[in-house]
Amino acid sequence: MASEFSLAETPIGRYFASMAEMGVMRVFVEHGIFDAIPDEGISLEDLATKLKVDYKLIERFAAFLLSIGVLTSPAPGHVAHSPSSKAFTDPRVAQFYSYLFDFFMGPTTRWTAYFAENGLAEPPRSNRSPGGFALGMPDKTAYEIMAAIPGLATRMNGAMAIDGDIPVTGVYDFSWIATYAAGDEKRVLIVDVAGGKGQALKDILEETPAIPAARCVQRYRNRDFSRYIISRM
């Protein structure tokens, strides 16, 4: 006798809940709903009135976030923060999440179509990426896409700057670069191609001060492909 199949015994429900959670969180971040919840909590009616949004939608979304512990309920019909939701009142966290949702999660929903058109292989060139495909610019590089979409570069730069709390050192040993530098006095040693504010280079140079700072550069890829030297901080 064939064994009975039960979706409850598969990860599908968990994946579905995660997808719904990420979407609801994005809406709450975009519309400042977490910011509108005071520390002492608020009724859903007052929250909807405060934000001038549809009560039924707020009630539906809040019920979901309550069920997974993102929000708490100090009284029937009321919501308050949990540590998770409170974190999103920090604009840095909210901005970084929005960036990840819009420019990573969004394109992943188009991966199947991308691979159907390009074959199941890594992109052969920088202007043939799943991200460009998803954004309707399949022949553009990431930097060309940022130049084409107003505000995109600013958002990415802000998100990259936030990521200064993520450790850069401690995993890779950069000390060999200092040794190499002694035998080649002209070559640029480290090029940081990113949208941050030099925090990665700063951390590397502080951990390995023997690396000549004047031979490390941060490169901003924009229309004139300019770059500048990072001085020791």
Which tens digits make up the pLDDT trace of 66-110? 999 999 999 999 999 999 999 999 988 898 898 889 888 989 999
* Helices and strands (H, E) in the chain, number of each type: 12, 6
How much of the chain exceeds pLDDT 90, in percent?
47
Q: What topology does CATH give the domain 10-87?
A: Arc Repressor Mutant, subunit A (1.10.10)
The tokens describing 132, both together, are 């460009």
The tokens describing 158, both together, are 């802000």
User: How far is residue 184's CA from residue 103's CA, in Å, rounded to a whole number?
Assistant: 39
Residue 38: phi, psi to the nearest 5?
A: -75, 165
Do the bridges between strand 190-193 and strand 227-229 make them parallel or antiparallel, or are there none, so unpaired? unpaired
Q: pLDDT tens digit string along 112-125?
A: 999 999 999 999 99
User: How far is residue 73's CA from residue 62's CA, in Å, rounded to a whole number?
Assistant: 10
Q: Would you say the pTM of this structure is higher than 0.85?
A: no
Residue 215 has pLDDT above 50, yes or no: yes
The count of other CB atoms within 10 Å of the CB of residue 202 is 20
Q: Where are the domains of the chain?
A: 10-87, 91-164, 167-229
Q: Compute the half-sphere exposure of residue 225: CA atoms within 13 Å on the CB side of its CA.
A: 1
The single residue listed with the structure tokens 């920088």 is 126
